[in-house]
A = this chain, B = another copy of it.
Amino acid sequence: MLPIAVDAMGGDNAPGEIVAGAQLAADEGIPVVLVGQPEAIGETSLEVISASEVIAMDEDPTKSVRTKKDSSLVRAAEAVRDGRASGMISAGNTGAALAAATLRMKRIKGVSRPSIATPLPMFGGGTPNILIDAGANVDCTPDLLALFARMGAVYARARYGVEAPRVGLLSNGEEASKGSPLTKAAYPLLSETEWQQATGANFIGNVEGRDLLGGDVDVIVTDGFTGNVALKSLEGAAKEIVNALLEAFDSSDDARKGAELLLPALMPLYERTDPDTVGGAALVGVKGVCMISHGSSSANAILNAARAAHELAETDLVGQLTAALATP
């Protein structure tokens, strides 16, 4: 198996945590290659593809990819394109990763726009639900939502082994009559049987914001604007609740004693919803595996992203997507 190209320069904790994560992956037998400035990466036994430039977190995505041709992000995408790597990972500028992967790897036939598929933190446990599009495409057509449904279904099976993914359309009510002009126009497209047969998916109709983290759906389809707002709304709520809990846990001697007794019961909950454990988002629709980790990724997050990228390369996500999109 070809190695996973790891953008060593992307992320708040780059290159230290990124290199450490790549080493952890290599230690458990996942082949990796670092991409970045050798002097910044420092001493390592891992293979390094040299790239002299770095795209910063806040740079304009398309412009930076066009001008910084020797950046770690662009070189990582080229490594996949050129058959030097089986996939890539970056914790850097998400928009630039999207642009680099799209421009260098090119799109799969039938994909007008690649999309970001994000696993959601399941507080109740179980396989993460997939939110697609989580932010790549702000302005969408009904056809695009239908494309996201297909790609999301294929991804849920390739990534999490969901055999018959239940696909829901994010709306403001469960009834088919509810929705925005966009979702109302997408609904009949998602109701068609052909794509469901081609992907093994079941379209279950509209779902609501409260279903995002529930067990009744596997793939939630939406435009990138609504997806971004929904994802950040639930992440924000989780953060506010955790902060309020931590404050309560430290509010008195009794509370501190109680929190200590509860700790072993709370740890599994913490672990299964930690972004570093849940893993990164995937850019789907390009001719290559591309995992996008969050900016604050630790070594552990990079390890998990490398595992996911390696698995997706092994199960041939791109081939599966190509086949599913080749049927009408």
The range of chain A's interface size is: 35 or more
Q: B172, B212, B248: which contacts A225 (Cβ < 8 A)? A: B172
> A109 near B: Cβ within 8 Å?
no
- Give every chain B residue within 8 A of A244 (Cβ-Cβ): 123-125, 269
A181, CB-defined interface residue at 8 Å? yes
Tell whether A254 is near chain B: CB-to-CB under 8 Å: yes
Q: Which residues of B contact A239 (CB under 8 A)?
A: 210
Give Cα A257–Cα B258 distance, bound, in whole angstroms.
7
A185 contacts the other chain (CB 8 A):
no
Contact A261 B255 (CB under 8 A): yes
Q: Known interface pairs A237-B237, A269-B244. Does A181 touch B139 (Cβ–Cβ under 8 Å)? A: yes
Chain A residues 228-282 with CB under 8 Å of chain B are 228-241, 243-245, 248-249, 251-252, 254-255, 257-266, 268-269
Which B residues lie within 8 Å of A259 (CB)? 258, 262
- Chain B residues, CB < 8 A from A210: 232-233, 235-236, 239
Task: State A59–B249 Cα separation when bound (angstroms).
Answer: 45
How far, in Å, is A256 (CB) from chain B's closest CB? 9
A209 CB contact (under 8 Å) in B125, B139, B235: B235
Query: Which residues on B sit within 8 Å (CB–CB) of A243?
Result: 123-124
A82 at the interface (CB under 8 A from B): no
**Cβ contact within 8 Å between A236 and B234:** yes
User: Of residues 119 to 164 in A, which have CB atoms within 8 Å of B's CB atoms?
Assistant: 122-125, 135, 138-139
List chain B residues, Cβ under 8 A from A171: 225, 229
User: Which residues of B are found within 8 Å of A139, using beta-carbon distances?
Assistant: 180-181
Residue pair A240, B123 in contact (C-beta under 8 Å): yes
Contact between A238 and B236 (Cβ–Cβ < 8 Å)?
Answer: no
Does chain B have a CB within 8 A of A286? no
- The answer to whether A213 has its CB under 8 Å from any CB of chain B is yes
Does the CB pair B260–A170 fall under 8 Å? Answer: no
Beta-carbon contact of B233 and A172 below 8 Å: no
**Known contacts A225-B180, A245-B269, A269-B244; is-contact A236 B262 (Cβ 8 Å):** no
Closest 5 CB pairs of A and B: A209-B232, A258-B261, A210-B236, A209-B233, A258-B262
